[in-house]
Structure 1
Amino acid sequence: MTETRQEKPIPPGQWRSDGLPPVMAIDLPPQEPLPDGVATYFDKCEEKLGLVPNVLVAHAFDADRLNAFAAFYNGLMLAPSGLTKAEREMIAVAVSAINRCHYCLTAHGAALRQLTGDPALAETIAQNWRAADLPARQQAMLTFAEKLSVSPAAMEEADRQALRDAGFSERDIFDIAAVTGFYAMSNRLASATEMAPNPEYHAMARE
């Protein structure tokens, strides 16, 4: 009787060839070679940030999926809005803290430190935003984002009115909800795949 030889499976996440830790715990290598548009996008990230965020690398197994994710992120976090970029990052960090998302807390904690120039404030928001010395506007914003994250079915007109009373427009309310919802999704995806933050984030904007 001849035994059938079985190949030993490659452990998930072991496809990195650059000596860096695996991006995530499921085995979805980027397309090879990267499509021109994706390669150009990654080059721009490297130029502007000094790295390619692992969340983008994780999506690079499918160029269409990556492009859709990047477009949605850029529209929410970087496009003109009544919310400042720092306020949008505050939402990202506060929501990620609620969901205990290691990747997003690390990556967006670094972004918030850079945007505010205040590492202590950013760290406090990551640990417990209610302990941070925030103006009433941002307290109202994060109160709304927290409730939407924890008990979305309990949202009511009083929650929206509290934002209006704090000076937010109708479009601002939509943007607060959209950013909150985006990180509800992103946190769960990162946690489900054990997505690893780029090591460089840990040291960014600490002084």
Structure 2
Amino acid sequence: MTERISRFPVPELADLPDDIRQRILAVQERSGFVPSVFLALAHRPDEFRAFFAYHDALMLKPSGLSKGEREMIVVATSAANHCLYCVVAHGAILRIHEKAPLLADQLATDWTRAPLTARQRAMLAFALKVAQQANTVDAADDEALYAAGFSQEDIWDIGAIAAFFALSNRMAGLTGMMPNAEFYMLGRVPRTP
């Protein structure tokens, strides 16, 4: 039985605008499958473009945060927001970036008990505050992050990633998106040369 990708219509690849079709095919070429998020959000091409442009601006640019740290934010905040899709999909990406097969599960279950640095603990505490109580963020949060070694731009990145993935978590819930089966095993067992 095949899992449904979305509660909303999912367009055929051949029917998509060329730029979206090419992006999806490029992802499929790199990963060997098409993550459900690409097909579900293709339902609305303009929103697809805006979503992935902001995703790329946050997750792919040079930053004071490592790629692994960015994924830690996604996994921890997505767990707090009860988003199975993002926990599983970004948990796989985190395992690959950090070469740590247990870390994503630890962050999703109880990030406070995961083997993190003091810097990463400060980062996740702030990210979760943004994801769950952004109205309470204040100068004391900045001071704690400065003390942990983050710059003002890093603080923006942490908050923006938490905020963007709150949107992503809610879209996954709205559409009924389920993680691709392929994500579950990625990064759990070292690749053999």
TM-score (norm: length of structure 1): 0.86
1:87 partnered with 2:66: no
Question: What is the distance in 1 between the residues matched to 2:79 and 2:44?
Answer: 29
Paired residues of 2:122 and 2:144 also in contact (CA < 8 A): yes
Question: What is the distance in 2 between the residues matched to 1:51 and 1:193?
Answer: 20
Identical aligned pairs, as a percentage? 44
Shift of 1:32: 4.9
Question: What is the distance in 2 between the residues matched to 1:22 and 1:91?
Answer: 27
1:177 partnered with 2:192: no
Unaligned runs of 5+ in 2: none
Paired residues of 2:40 and 2:175 also in contact (CA < 8 A): no
Aligned pairs, number: 189
Pick the structure with more helix per residue: 2
Q: Calculate the aligned-residue CA RMSD, in Å.
A: 1.5
1:133 corresponds to: 115
Query: Residues 20-35 of structure 1 correspond to what in structure 2 (within 5 A)?
Result: 20-30=2-12, 32-35=14-17
1:142 to 89, 105, 124: 124
Question: What is the distance in 1 between the residues matched to 2:141 and 2:168?
Answer: 24
Considering only CA atoms, is the larger Rg found in Structure 1 or Structure 2?
1
Query: Residues 20-59 of structure 1 correspond to what in structure 2 (within 5 A)?
Result: 20-30=2-12, 32-59=14-41
Paired residues of 2:145 and 2:155 also in contact (CA < 8 A): yes
Q: Deviations over 1:128-178 (max 9, x none)?
A: 110011111100000101112222221111011111111111100000010
Paired residues of 1:82 and 1:172 also in contact (CA < 8 A): yes
